Amino acid sequence: MNSPANRHSTQTAGSGEADGQNGEQKKNLWISMLESVASGKRLPEKNLVVLGGTPDSQRDFLDSLSSSESKRNFDRRKIPPVANNFALGYTYYDVLDADQDDTLARVSLYLLSQPSAEFASLIAPLLTPRAIPNTALVILLDWSQPHLWLRQIRQWIILFLSVTKQLGDEERYEMNDVMEAWKTRGRGGASVNLDGTPSAQAVSGEDDSSLPRGPGEWTEPLGLPLCVAQRMEVLEKNNGWKEQAFDHVLQYLRTVLLRHGASLIYTSQNAPSQLTPLIHSTLGITSLLKKQPLKQNVIDRDKIVVLPNWDSWGKIRVLGGQFEAETISQGWAEDIDERFSGEPPSLEVLAQNRAAQKETVDPLQAESAIAQYEEWCQESASDGLALVESILQKKQAGVTVYSEDAQEFLEKQVKRLETARNKAAPTEKTMPEAPPGWSEREHVSEHIGPVQFNVGGIQVDADDMLQRIKVRTPSAFSWSSVNPRQDRNTFSSPEPAPEESEQPETSNVTKQYDNEQLHNFFQNLINKPAGGGS
């Protein structure tokens, strides 16, 4: 008999594991159940890289994307903060279903305001093989600077192309697959709608007979779907824009974005837009309860919507005008070419490059869509397009600012001060001549009137009193008032006061007249008899 110590248990040590067929170990049932529940509750994660704009305009863009259901959800929960003041910002929002509180997806927004090459290393880690199919790009433009739109789009595209160079082979293969799928998505007769859902042709079993791509379309794919959003403002009242100016700007934008298969939309605070359904369909977020169809609009200038795989050169020419879509498209290809990484040249430099193209081996840029667009903006400046000449003439240095030399600045200021001083200093020729008999006192009296004061309840005119004192002379006094006992017949009556024209001789006459009076007075005292007083 075997002892109990020699007995071996036939059960496995694991509580939930058992041997399967052919010696394979069965998977734990509890683990599989928990994984299935967790995957069912996991939210689809979508990424949106927002390029351009200011921190305030980026916040407005986020508010436009947040639907009424999301705002109602934020009222019950804590509103996620928006951190976009430094370098690469981040925030998120949840997309709710139309009629229920079910969350369809969570959208993470990565916000970048400056197209500096140093920020490329911050975007590259976001593009993983798992995140690339669920990521889209958005470029924000502002209507306050319409003359800089093509230049700004070029800066962001060059920045993103530098990001793709830092990716590995697996990420690049994934981006190529995404672009191949997008080249037929939403096109007429295609089997896939714009939001990634099967089209009516695919459901009915019809063959895929989508329309072929036209010239200039999808020639420069970026690897991710691109959408350009512009915040529309009232330019007719502020800058005097006309219908022709709106159409010409739209032709440039549509031709440039057609090479990347991008979409274009104008947004406004005063009118509803299709921004939310356009972004959500680009990310593949759909609702089974309520579908919001997208409709292109190229007529209403404040509600422009150009969907991917819809536009063409023929539709762009419909807007009229002398617009050459082929030339602009080829010029844009050279603008974003890595061989011409510097600033776009002017039209004069391009003409010189064409002449020197045969003489040099190095490639020279012969066309530029940005140069033609900015040249048109300069010619249309009188019609209301505000331009910044310094930006068009000087090269942009990113975040670096070059200051002027202190001595040169002070020298300019001295010249300006001298010019202002010469203009402000009065000259003899410019000073008006005073009229005859004009005096400063009389001129002041004309404005303030006579000066009066009260003396014993009687209003006395000060000017009149001063005039009387000046005219009054000592000859006006009679000696009878000095000596009442003097015989009036002894003195002759005082002569009247001299006229104003004789005032210079008044002192001599008065002096002689007083001497005669005194002589006669003392002579009478001497000749008077002694007993005359008794």
Where are the domains positioned within the chain? 40-199+213-393
CA distances 384 to 147, 245, 372, 375, 401, Å, are 11, 9, 18, 15, 29
Number of other CB atoms surrounding residue 409 within 10 Å: 11
Residue 490 contacts by C-beta under 8 Å, 6 or more apart in sequence?
520, 521, 524
Predicted pLDDT of residue 474: 52
If you average pLDDT over every residue of the chain, what do you get? 75
Burial class (CB in 10 A: 0-12, 13-18, 19+), 319: middle
Shortest CA distance to 151 belongs to which of 315, 377, 400? 377
pLDDT digits (tens, 9 = 90+) for 319-374: 887 888 999 999 999 899 888 877 888 888 888 877 777 666 667 887 889 999 98
Predicted model pTM: 0.64
- Residue 31 corresponds to which tokens in the numbers above? 């683990």
Predicted pLDDT of residue 158: 93
Tokens 């080249």 correspond to 183
Q: How confident is the model at residue 524 (pLDDT cuts 50, 70, 90)?
A: confident
- Torsion (CA) 149, 151, 113, 398 in degrees, nearest 10: -150
Say whether pLDDT at 253 is over 90.
yes
Predicted pLDDT of residue 128: 93
Percent of the chain with pLDDT over 70: 66
List the end-to-end C-alpha distance of the chain, in Å, as a whole number. Answer: 198
Predicted pLDDT of residue 491: 42
